[in-house]
Amino acid sequence: MIRLTRSIVPNSLTIANLFSGFVAIIYVAKDEYMLGALFVLLAAIFDMVDGITARLVQSASEFGVQLDSLSDAVSFGVVPSFMLYKIYFYQFGDFGLVISALPLICGVLRLARFNVQTTAFQDKKFFNGLAIPASAFFIISYIIFYHRSDFFDSNTKQYLIFFVTILSSILMVSTIKFYNAPRPNIRYLKQYPIISSIFFLAIILSIATKGLFIFPFFIFYIVGSIIRHYYLKLFVKKNGKG
């Protein structure tokens, strides 16, 4: 007999994340990329809410961590890699398979590293390496709003899609610290007002521009995180030792 516990609520949300990723794959296979992207967004919402719910009902567990990572591997690993292959890299044969698989491979490696360093859901300010959902949005926002439009010329788009694919993959397995998404609670907003303001302003601008601002925001997020990481590493720590 199946025993019902408090964990059924957050775990059901995690399964919804996984199912949304599966639906996204179906739409990408049918060349309906915008619908695929929307289901990745839906998966991200479920991914955010399941962790919040687990903490609220005090049901965070090792099982939940593993289930969450498996779901993320599909929704934010398989989907963007498959979309990259379908959109562009299919034309390069086996080489295209390898390149388009990099976000999936590096994303799974990142999730595995996170799992061995984490025993349950933890509310951390930083992630080591670019989080796999952020990588997925970085890739998909470029594909949907820039690669499939006339914003850049053909030659520029050829370089950019390689750049976005490889950069996002490297950053996921890096040790660069990236800010976690702000938590929607008063305590976090008071503690980190600047980070929260930037994040919520980005949401407003993304909606106002019908998605066009998402990719530039992730460029800002990535470049800012890299600068911050190496500034602290090269100057602050060095001065502290001296």
Q: Is the pLDDT of residue 212 over 80?
A: yes
- CA pair distance 139, 84, nearest whole angstrom: 8
Mean pLDDT over the full length of the chain: 88
Asked whether the predicted pLDDT for residue 190 surpasses 90, the reply is no
Nearest to 192 by CA among 209, 177, 180: 180
Q: Over 50: is that where the pLDDT of 143 sits?
A: yes
CATH fold of the domain at 8-241: Four Helix Bundle (Hemerythrin (Met), subunit A) (1.20.120)
Residue 237 pLDDT > 70, yes or no? no
Looking at per-residue pLDDT, the higher value among 122 and 65 belongs to 65
Report residue 32's pLDDT band, with 50, 70 and 90 as the boundaries.
very high
DSSP labels, the chain: -PPP-TTHHHHHHHHHHHHHHHHHHHHHHTT-HHHHHHHHHHHHHHHHHHHHHHHHTT---HHHHHHHHHHHIIIIIIHHHHHHHHHTGGGGHHHHHHHHHHHHHHHHHHHHHHHHH-SS----SEEES--HHHHHHHHHHHIIIIITSSSS-HHHHHHHHHHHHHHHHHHHTS--EEEPPPPSSHHHHHHSHHHHHHHHHHHHHHHHTTTTTHHHHHHHHHHHHHHHHHHIIIIIHHHHH-
**What does the chain come to in residues?**
242
Contact 178, 225 (CB under 8 A): yes
Task: For 57-97, write each residue's pLDDT tens digit.
Answer: 766 677 888 899 999 999 999 999 999 999 999 999 999 99
Q: Who wins on pLDDT, 180 or 32?
A: 32
Amino acid 233: pLDDT: 82
Can you tell me the mean pLDDT for 36-65? 84
Residue 44 has a pLDDT of 94
